[in-house]
Amino acid sequence: MSQYRKTADLPDTLPVFPLPGALLFPRWELPLNIFEPRYLNMLDDAIRGHRLIGMVQSMGGTRERPDIAGVGCAGRITSYAETDDGRYLVTLTGICRFAVKQELALTTPYRQVTAGWEAFAADLYPASEDGVPDRSELIRSLRTYVAAHGLQADWSAVEDAPMETLVHALAAGCPFPAPEKQALLEAGSLADRARTLMALMAMSASGGDDGSVQ
């Protein structure tokens, strides 16, 4: 988004929403259904403030206080609606990944961290497609994955989607375990992410793990 031109435009501290398996990428939209009181509080505060929420994967621990991954992605609240039963239906648009430098000792019911943005400054600019595998290679990997699990895919959408959109849709939608999802998030470039995705689909297809493409 145009208001974020450099990492200095991003806040030093960030509320975080730990959620297993849910990946947010720069320029990718993530819909959320928020109903827990602590996260409703978080959303209210974010709307009154910089409108940014850090999505991080939970990696074990307890439900009340899960361990969190060391890298997440900040998203801006770009739409929200309140339901009759008090939930928020939210869309986050990914802005930039961040490193969790330190978790803050605060009294808010939700967790907040000091965010390190410097390593991910390139996220603020359109992704380069240098080195990205040919679409045909990615589609072959996807066809093998889909066939191995007896799934279906919208092949016209696969053919027509911009490459970044396609890679992020598959990375977010394929039900890989949390460490593999985290590897996709932390991949340095779009080319790295595409190749990691293809390797994970190949391993899953050869191992016969259950999975689905959302």
Domain co-membership, 27 together with 102 = yes
| Residues 59-116: tens digit of each pLDDT | 887 888 889 999 999 999 999 999 999 999 999 999 999 999 999 998 999 999 999 9
Which pTM value belongs to this model? 0.91
Q: Is residue 142 part of a domain?
A: yes
CATH number at residue 53: 2.30.130.40
Quick check: is 212 in a domain?
no
Task: Please name the residues in contact with 188: beta carbons below 8 A apart, sequence gap of 6 or more.
Answer: none
Q: pLDDT by residue (tens digit) across 127-185?
A: 999 999 999 999 999 999 999 999 889 999 999 999 999 999 999 999 899 999 999 99
Same domain, 32 and 95: yes
* Domain-embedded: residue 163: yes
Q: Does 12 lie in the same domain as 40?
A: yes
pLDDT at 7 over 60: yes
Residue with tokens 């000792």: 105
Q: Are residues 48 and 114 in the same domain?
A: yes
Q: Is residue 2 part of a domain?
A: no
- Domain for residue 214, yes or no? no
| 11 and 107 assigned to the same domain | yes
DSSP annotation string for 138-190: HHHHHHHHHHHHT----HHHHHHS-HHHHHHHHHHHS---HHHHHHHHH-SSH
Burial 43-69 (b: 16+ CB within 10 A, else e): beebeeebebbbbbbbeeeeeeebebb
206: amino acid identity, one letter: S
Residue ranges making up the domain that contains 55: 7-124
Would you say 28 and 96 are in contact if contact means Cβ atoms under 8 Å apart? Answer: no
pLDDT higher than threshold 50 for residue 125: yes
- Is 140 among the domain residues? yes
Residue 179 lies in a domain: yes
